[in-house]
Structure 1
Amino acid sequence: MSVSTTPHLNFRGEAREALEFYRSVFGGDLVAMTYGDMGSQDPVEKDQVVWGQVAAPNGFRVMAYDAPAAVPFGRGEDPFFVSVRGDDVEELAGLWARLAEGGAVAQPFGPSAWAKAYGMVRDRFGITWVLDVAA
C-alpha cells in the first residue's frame, strides 16, 4: 500500500478563492465539493467548500475546506490539518489508532458519505490529522 500526505488548509468562506489562487501559482487541476453538494440547504454554507484540492503534474498538492459555522474558527488558529490518504482501510485504521493514543478523537475512523473510511484525530502534540481511503 502507498500512503500520501497533503497539507489540508482551513478557512471560513475563503477556501475556493485560496484554491484558485494556489492553482494560479502552481498550475494543475482544481476539484471542489460544496456543502450543498453534500445536501446542505443552509444558504450561508451551501456554496462553501466542504472539500477541495489542487493537484499539479509537478507534484504540488494542497487540500482546503471552509470550516462550518458550528465549528469555532479563528483565522490563523488551527490553520491546517495533515491529510493522510491511502488505499487500505485496515492499514489506515491502524495508523489512525496510533495517532489517537494520548490524543483527542474528533471523528471516529469508519465509513463516510465521501470515502470508504474517514477519521479525524488531534494527536498528543495538538496536530489534527485526517485519514481517509478515497471511494
Structure 2
Amino acid sequence: MASRLNPYISFEDDAREAMEFYRTVFGGTLVLNTFGEFGGAEDEAFADKIMHGMLETENGFTLMAADTPPGMDHNPGTTITVSLSGDDADDLRGYWEKLSEGGLVTVPLEKQMWGDEFGACVDRFGIPWMVNITGG
C-alpha cells in the first residue's frame, strides 16, 4: 500500500455516534474497535468506548477516530479543519448539507471571489469542515 494522509479525530465520549454519522454522510465501510475488545479498559464503564475507528469510502476518503481515554486530556480546538474539495458538485453539496445539518455554518456555501463555491461549518460534534467546489 502506498503512503496516505488522513485525519484522526479525538472525541470525548461520542466517537461511535460521530463515526456512524460520518458513514451516513460519506458512505463506506466502518470498523469500530472498543477498549474492552483489546483489554484496554481499566474502568469497566469505558469498555464500550471506541479505541480505534476507521471509515473507508468508495471515493478514497479515510477518517479515523477514538474516544479519549480516562486520564488523558481532551482539548478540542480550532487548530485543524477537515477540508473536502473537488469538482463533483453534487457529491460535495450533499456532504455539505449533511455535515452542516445540526451544526453551525460559519461561511455559507456560495460562490466566492476566486470563482469556486466555498463554505465552512462546524458539525454537530464540534469538528470544523471546509467544502470547496471547483469552478468550471
TMscore range, shorter length: 0.5 to 0.7
How far did residue 79 of structure 1 move?
7.1
Partner-residue secondary structure (3-state), 1:37: helix
How far did residue 44 of structure 1 move?
2.2
Aligned counterparts of 1:79 and 1:33: Cα–Cα separation in 2: 25
Aligned counterparts of 2:7 and 2:77: Cα–Cα separation in 1: 15
Match of 2:58? Answer: 57
Matched pairs, number: 80
How far did residue 78 of structure 1 move?
7.2
Q: Which stretch has the larger CA shift, 10-19 or 32-41?
A: 32-41
2:21 counterpart letter in structure 1:
F
How far did residue 76 of structure 1 move?
3.0
Match of 1:14? Answer: 14
Match of 1:95? Answer: none
Q: Which runs of 5+ in 2 are unaligned?
A: 82-136
How far did residue 59 of structure 1 move?
1.0
Aligned counterparts of 2:80 and 2:45: Cα–Cα separation in 1: 21
How far did residue 45 of structure 1 move?
1.1
Structure 1 pair 76–51 and aligned structure 2 pair: CA distance change class (3 A) = same
The structure where helix makes up a greater share of residues is 2
2:69 counterpart letter in structure 1:
P
Partner-residue secondary structure (3-state), 1:47: coil
Matches within 5 A, 1:1-135: 2-39=2-39, 40-76=41-77
Q: Alpha-carbon deviations, 1:54-82, whole Å to 9, x = none?
A: 111111210000010110113337779xx
Moved over 4 A (4+): 77-80
The structure where strand makes up a greater share of residues is 1
1:47 counterpart letter in structure 2:
D
How far did residue 41 of structure 1 move?
4.8
Q: Which runs of 5+ in 1 are unaligned?
A: 81-135
Query: Does the 8 Å CA contact 1:28/1:55 hold for their aligned counterparts?
Result: yes
RMSD value over aligned CA atoms?
A: 2.1
Query: Does the 8 Å CA contact 1:50/1:65 hold for their aligned counterparts?
Result: yes
TM-score normalised over the length of structure 1: 0.54
Structure 1 pair 13–54 and aligned structure 2 pair: CA distance change class (3 A) = same
